[in-house]
Structure 1
Amino acid sequence: MFLTLSLNLCFPQNNSNWSFSNPQSFGGDYIDFEFINENTGYAVSQGQILKSTDSGTNWKILKYLNLPKNVIPISIYILNDSIIYIGCNMGYILKYFNNKIIILNRNNFNFDEFRTIEFINENIGFAGSNRYLYKTTNSGETWISINPLTINNIFKIKFVDMNTGFLTSELGTIYKTTDTGVTWLMNKFPNSYENVKDIFMINENTGIVCGTNGFILKTIDRGNSWYEINSGFSDQFFSVNFFDENNGVLVSKEDSYILKSKIFITNDGGESWNKIDSIDKMFFCCAEKLNSKIILGGKVGFLAEINRQFQYNQTTKYQVPLNAYIKGMKFFNENTGYLVTDTGHIYKSINKGNIWNKISESPENLSIVSFDFINELTGFVIGKNENSVNLIYRTTNLGNNWILDSVNINNSISQLNFLNEQTGYLTTQNGFYKTENSGLNWTLKNSSSFVTRELKFTSLDTGYCIKGTSLMKTINGGLNWHTLLQQPSGIFLMSFLNSLTGYLFFDNFNNRYLFKTTNGGINWSYESFYDRVEYVSDFYFVNETTGYILSDKVYKLENSGETITPIHLTQNFRINDLYFYNEKLGFFFNHTYGELRAPVLLKTYIDGNVSVENNS
């Protein structure tokens, strides 16, 4: 019988219960940031404005942007401690004022992409886009186009005083004004096809610009003329900053699909440059001077610093960067938990996941598939080495030493989980293995014909598994299995709370159903989800009535699925895994490179009906 139920869609308020958890600083990208004094700085990411009051050591969310779909922040300008301008794509300029976000004069902007904003006082400002140069004389209430000559693709606007300013553009072109932007003089470098991405004036006369394919120009006469510097590199230079007249830092980035950044330094005023570091899986987008250091911000919510001695530090004063994807998580109580990344790093938290510290690395540079800890000292990691050989390692001292288990498994291992400290299960393509002595020995329990995707034992005797398009159950420890539900095609996912109560999600692209049993699979009730979600990549129930579904968004299910609520995550993260220790403490994360998205770890901690944000 098909059940027709009312759909109750709830839209949460902006004070989301979900917050970013170390080692990932904010989970998203630092698009741009700026400091107004030695202590106070602001940053804009894809979903919020962030503020630091301790020289960038810690950051708190100042305001959620709540932008329309496909609108992304690109640039930020800090006028003072209470007024911030943010340039976006799709013709949006935002103004943060009196703790409110105001959309400025969008009707005149069409689909401009605002890459740079600069104000010379509270009233007069400029905004450069991929189409035009705009000017305001009334604090952004109205804007007029003042396009000098024919300018496209403005990348940077920089004023050195009330009258004199520069803007950088494509084809090796720099423009200069000496009358507050009324007129502009073009200075085009001959035979250049490069995009000039950034400009930094070291003093009133000397400046450096950088651009694509290793392009660097320098002026020593206040921008009246420029000469080319042979950098010796072909990198995509993106941002430049100087400590003093001699010592400077330059960063490059590859395109968004490569996720790689390089850092270059000079100690002769920019006449020559040397590469000091190259970082995979992320890139820097901006460089900002702060006292005796230059801070770099970029993808993966990542900050780094370089001091005057050009000592590059990824971690000093900043949270440990999560430049890898989470493969699993395990908590033993509300405070103590572990996570492992695909690169084999193991982290530990002792404060509900607010801060994670790396404690060890797995051996042999394994590509991690799964892990589990049975107590706070003893754990297992499984994965493949560089020769694609399946290996299982065990530690009894929190990863200080690892012991290679002798079990020989030729087929791929998909899952490892322990029911208790003695009994654990390995799911493979040719059946499952069981240990009854804390992993010292493993025994194959089924033949190669028993191919299972997911296995869950709720007691020593009772277990459930997904085999093809069937849900199966055992009541004798896995010796025999019988079919509970079967479909000719489609995908099954399961979440069992105990031996009696469980949920099953079925999707064959034509129909989507959420099944529930309270008597071990003898009887099932169900809800239709065909018009509710586009697809389901995973789901989990934290108690008999409340669960979460991962789809194009993250949804919370209540009343056994009758009520579905999209969760506000501040950014359009692609989440594909989740872990809950109990009803209050839970985490969302992604564990694959899908669409080359940056790694992210989100945490919730809910005490009854009171939500607590933990912006670590």
Structure 2
Amino acid sequence: MKKMFTLFFLLLFVNGYSQSFTWQWLNPKPHGNAMRSVNVIAPNTVIAFGAAGTVQKSTNNGTTWSVKNVDTLGREFRAAHFFNATTGFVCGSSGLLMKTVDGGETFTYVTSGTTNLLYDIEFVDANVGYASGSSGTMIKTTDGGATWSNLTTGTTLAIYGLSAPAPDVVYFGTASSPSVFRKSTDGGATWTTVTPSGLTQSIWGVHFINTTTGWIATQNGGRVYATTDGGTTWTNSITDGLVVPNAVYFTNATTGYVTNNNNGKVFVTTDAGATWTFGDGTTEPQYAVVSSGSDVFSVGRSGTTTKSTDGGTTYTLMGNAVTITQIRKIKFINATLGIGTAGSTTTGDSLGFLIKTTDGGNTWNQLPYNFKNIVYSLATPTPTTWYVGRGRNAIFKTTDAGATFVEQTQPTTGTHNFLDISFADENNGYAVTSTGGVIKTTDGGTTWTNANTPFGTTSVSAAYVFSPNKVIAVAQSAKAFMTTNGGTSWEALTTNIPGNFFTVNFYDENFGVIAGFNSPSPVASKTTDGGATWTALTLPGDFDGNSIWGIGFRNTNTFWLGGINGAIYYTTDGGTSWTSSKPVTGNTLYSFAIVGDEMWLSGTQGTILKGYSSPFIPVNMVSFNASINGNEVNLSWKTATETNNKGFDVERNDGQSWSKIAFVTGNGTTTEANTYSYLDKPESKGLIKYRLKQIDFDGTYEYSDIVEVNVGAPVKFDLAQNYPNPFNPVTTIKYSLASKTSVELKIYNILGKEVARIVNEVQDAGNYSIEFNASKFASGVYFYELNAGTFNSKKKMILIK
């Protein structure tokens, strides 16, 4: 009987967020959110927490990671404590406190009793736990986290770190002004100050392994302080390169680790902190560290995760990124060809470059030209002719799609930044600067001249060029101007919004939006007559604090706004009402690119996200799944309701490109549930992707999310009997892996002693066949054992010579 493997993909509906809408991280991978906490909760199981409610988990010791955002408000996680492989607490911004009882698969909210940011959390046992936060906050539970009460700490300084080695013994350290370090021996009822002499700077990390022995990581010249008598006396060490230690973790009285807030170095000591050495797998600051045996994991900025397998001597960066610098502009010329701008803002010669994709953003490459400062702006009047504006006053041009660049001669002087470049066609373009300048070209960049500028010295953020003569440019200090004569004269626009304007974009010659920030709220205004008149848009209150830097249009009804703290909002009624997209990052988002249904977003820390320009799939699809039966793939999907549904194109991608393989007729408009299916017989084997293109009768369409199947892959873990058996001296051992995992294949003699290890590596899902040559072994009974993740199987074989 054939066995069936089924992969289910559910489209869940979450109140307050766009239905059926997901974001995909294209760079960095697996994500780019800052991670603040890391825990080893079981053998091979590592879980980390960070910005935007991010949970990152591996069940194969870091080989692969799953990533999800679990806080509906996108708040930042700062610390976590796990009792065992299943139960743990995590805390963070605005008093956020959540609990999991299934190893991080799901979380529930816990009332913390505070709205202050919670920096650290630690449980002494299953009942007693403490959490600390801003404004001197300390909360305590004695019933396993069900309820929490406030403790009086005697300080209003932020408490960055705490350690509770016993139910009644707890230590904490604060921010500077100056910093204080305190101890309680009565469960937080009273406190004694035990600050090391001379310590005035912030205490970032605290770790005690018992009631008397502990360490604190401080900003005080990079010093790590140690005590063995409960804080009565202290010793300290300072290490070159350890500028700002921000997390400390000891496995015993002698071996410990400290991370560095200024770079990716992770320091290790084996003499209780008297001396330190370091290893590094990244240049990004690392915020937390944990060890398990000889394995050491650290996490930090830009989603970086590093791993050491030799106790901290060397580290490997897990995941990948084409860049972790800010990407100020992203443009897609078509659905596959995209370009992004990147680089550093330092004052000296530094790296500035472009990144390019030819497969819709799945992979990116850094182009070789070094512009020596961050690239702020990009114009692509043709697929091969591009203009680049960088920091420190330079414009470059390529006519071969980025293979070579030539710096343009232009009239401005000084060290200002070219914040935007926009072209009407191949010859006519404008560039604006951070010191109020506007320059133009009418001959494809051969010559540039100064246009009259109405901005004075105010930084001009963006410009939209309609034609060789018509341009709208916006600046800080609520300045917005339009020229219709090529920059000879400018008309001030009445936008009806105050503040600093950071962006302007148009869907067509009539419909456009200007947006920015007027503390404490974002601002936006729209025009429907090409800029002649403007109407202020009312943005939602939970958008407060988030300035707007990016605008993306699907049409005049549906468009998107993006800004700092990862804020993403959309409207489907031309700006009358707004909905928040489910938080996916805490990084600032600068730029949108939209081609048809596909949409890309770029921002700080190398962020590139991909989604769909429509937040809703017109058909209320409740499930889409793919199942394998032999070499056949059965696709089935269900809808709850349908509106104007002509039907579904079934599309397949076998690793090269998407192609239509079938059309399934829909049910028009109906409130009844419907089930659809299609049987595919792909010629190729391996990983195959499927998606649905739902088409309305008016021709509009939306894509479903993607399901994947592995045709020809085994459906279970299995170890077969060797053949031949008995054998002399060679036999074949076959086994199957249902998923990628760490694999060991060992040979034992009759006494149970391991005599050979013929496989010891991570392997992909598939069927494997290994020859075992026993020419060096004596006749007798042997056993072979397969360990693959949690799967274990052992079989007997007989060698007869």
| Fold shared, TM-score > 0.5 on shorter chain | yes
| CA spacing shift, 1:173–1:345, aligned 2, 3 Å | same
Cα distance in 1 for partners of 2:244, 2:167 equals 28
Structure 1 residues 313-339: Cα deviation after superposition (integer angstroms, max 9, x where no partner)? 5x7332228542222212233233221
Find the partner of 2:50 among 26, 40, 45.
Answer: 45
| CA apart distance, 1:22 | 0.7
Query: Match of 1:567, as an amino acid?
Result: S
Cα distance in 2 for partners of 1:148, 1:462 equals 65
Find the partner of 2:511 among 485, 502, 516.
Answer: 502
Task: Specify the alignment match of 1:405 in structure 2.
Answer: 408
Q: Which runs of 5 or more residues in structure 2 are unaligned? A: 1-14, 174-179, 345-351, 618-702, 708-801
Task: Specify the alignment match of 1:578 in structure 2.
Answer: 591
Task: Specify the alignment match of 1:514 in structure 2.
Answer: 526
Query: Match of 2:317, as an amino acid?
Result: T
Find the partner of 1:116 among 121, 134, 153.
Answer: 121
Query: Match of 1:349, as an amino acid?
Result: T
Contact 1:327 1:369 in 2 (8 A): yes
Could you tell me the TM-score, scaled by structure 2's length? 0.57
Structure 1 residues 213-251: Cα deviation after superposition (integer angstroms, max 9, x where no partner)? 2132165x9x89976243357854332346898765322
Instruction: Map residues 180-579 of structure 1 onto 2, 5 A cutoff.
Output: 191=197, 193=199, 195=203, 197-199=205-207, 201=209, 209-212=215-218, 213=220, 214-217=223-226, 219=228, 228-231=235-238, 235-241=243-249, 248-253=256-261, 263-266=266-269, 268=271, 270-274=273-277, 283-289=285-291, 292-306=294-308, 308=310, 316-320=317-321, 322-343=323-344, 344-363=352-371, 365-373=372-380, 379-384=386-391, 388=392, 390-395=393-398, 401-410=404-413, 413-419=418-424, 422-423=426-427, 425-428=429-432, 431-434=438-441, 436=443, 439=445, 441-444=446-449, 446=451, 454-458=462-466, 463-466=470-473, 469-473=480-484, 478=486, 494-498=504-508, 500-505=509-514, 513-517=525-529, 527-529=535-537, 539-550=551-562, 553-570=567-584, 574-575=588-589, 577-579=590-592
| CA apart distance, 1:516 | 0.6
Give the secondary-structure state (helix, strand or coil) at the position aligned to 2:302.
helix
Contact 1:501 1:544 in 2 (8 A): no
Task: Specify the alignment match of 1:84 in structure 2.
Answer: 88
Q: Give % identity.
A: 15
Cα distance in 1 for partners of 2:463, 2:610 equals 26
Query: Match of 2:484, as an amino acid?
Result: K
Cα distance in 2 for partners of 1:431, 1:132 equals 54
Cα distance in 2 for partners of 1:436, 1:28 equals 43
Contact 1:352 1:585 in 2 (8 A): no
Find the partner of 2:79 among 75, 79, 86.
Answer: 75
Task: Specify the alignment match of 2:685 in structure 1.
Answer: none
Query: Match of 1:270, as an amino acid?
Result: G
| CA apart distance, 1:604 | 1.9
| CA apart distance, 1:211 | 2.5
Which region of structure 1 is more displaced relative to structure 2, 109-118 or 579-588? 109-118
Contact 1:283 1:298 in 2 (8 A): yes
**Does 1:127 pair with 2:126?**
no
Cα distance in 2 for partners of 1:197, 1:489 equals 45
Give the secondary-structure state (helix, strand or coil) at the position aligned to 2:28.
coil
Cα distance in 1 for partners of 2:264, 2:528 equals 49
Contact 1:12 1:568 in 2 (8 A): yes
| CA spacing shift, 1:526–1:241, aligned 2, 3 Å | closer
Query: Match of 2:171, as an amino acid?
Result: T
Cα distance in 1 for partners of 2:411, 2:160 equals 60
Contact 2:28 2:320 in 1 (8 A): yes
Structure 1 residues 531-571: Cα deviation after superposition (integer angstroms, max 9, x where no partner)? 76778655343323322235785431323334433333256
| CA spacing shift, 1:293–1:360, aligned 2, 3 Å | farther
* Aligned residue pair count: 558
Structure 1 residues 370-409: Cα deviation after superposition (integer angstroms, max 9, x where no partner)? 234566766443224xxx4x32334466656543334444
| CA spacing shift, 1:209–1:81, aligned 2, 3 Å | same
| CA spacing shift, 1:173–1:211, aligned 2, 3 Å | farther
Q: Which runs of 5 or more residues in structure 1 are unaligned? A: 1-9, 254-258, 592-597
| CA spacing shift, 1:356–1:293, aligned 2, 3 Å | farther
Contact 1:200 1:240 in 2 (8 A): no
Cα distance in 2 for partners of 1:450, 1:236 equals 42
Cα distance in 1 for partners of 2:27, 2:353 equals 14
Task: Specify the alignment match of 2:791 in structure 1.
Answer: none
| CA spacing shift, 1:406–1:57, aligned 2, 3 Å | farther
Alignment RMSD (CA, Å): 5.1
Task: Specify the alignment match of 2:683 in structure 1.
Answer: none
Cα distance in 2 for partners of 1:584, 1:48 equals 27
Cα distance in 2 for partners of 1:88, 1:487 equals 39
| CA spacing shift, 1:326–1:105, aligned 2, 3 Å | closer
Could you tell me the TM-score, scaled by structure 1's length? 0.71
User: Greater relative contact order (Cα 8 A, min sep 6): structure 1 or 2?
Assistant: 1
| CA spacing shift, 1:443–1:143, aligned 2, 3 Å | closer
| CA apart distance, 1:605 | 2.9
Contact 2:422 2:465 in 1 (8 A): no
Structure 1 residues 331-371: Cα deviation after superposition (integer angstroms, max 9, x where no partner)? 233233221114213223344334544343523x2243323
Greater strand percent: which structure?
A: 2
Cα distance in 1 for partners of 2:505, 2:150 equals 58
Q: Which of structures 1 and 2 has the bigger CA Rg? A: 2
Contact 1:210 1:238 in 2 (8 A): no
| CA apart distance, 1:76 | 0.7
| CA apart distance, 1:287 | 0.7
Cα distance in 1 for partners of 2:61, 2:330 equals 32
Cα distance in 2 for partners of 1:472, 1:350 equals 36
| CA spacing shift, 1:27–1:169, aligned 2, 3 Å | same
Contact 1:90 1:112 in 2 (8 A): yes
Instruction: Map residues 151-190 of structure 1 onto 2, 5 A cutoff.
Output: 155-157=161-163, 167-170=170-173
| CA apart distance, 1:188 | 5.1
Give the secondary-structure state (helix, strand or coil) at the position aligned to 2:556.
coil
| CA spacing shift, 1:246–1:335, aligned 2, 3 Å | farther
Query: Match of 2:297, as an amino acid?
Result: I
Find the partner of 2:39 among 15, 31, 34.
Answer: 34
Contact 1:285 1:299 in 2 (8 A): yes
Contact 2:454 2:481 in 1 (8 A): no
Cα distance in 2 for partners of 1:321, 1:528 equals 39
| CA spacing shift, 1:383–1:93, aligned 2, 3 Å | closer
Contact 2:28 2:302 in 1 (8 A): no
| CA spacing shift, 1:323–1:571, aligned 2, 3 Å | closer
Cα distance in 2 for partners of 1:82, 1:101 equals 11
Cα distance in 2 for partners of 1:356, 1:32 equals 29
Which region of structure 1 is more displaced relative to structure 2, 184-193 or 554-563? 184-193
Query: Match of 1:155, as an amino acid?
Result: G
Query: Match of 2:598, as an amino acid?
Result: L
| CA apart distance, 1:584 | 2.4
Contact 1:588 1:602 in 2 (8 A): yes
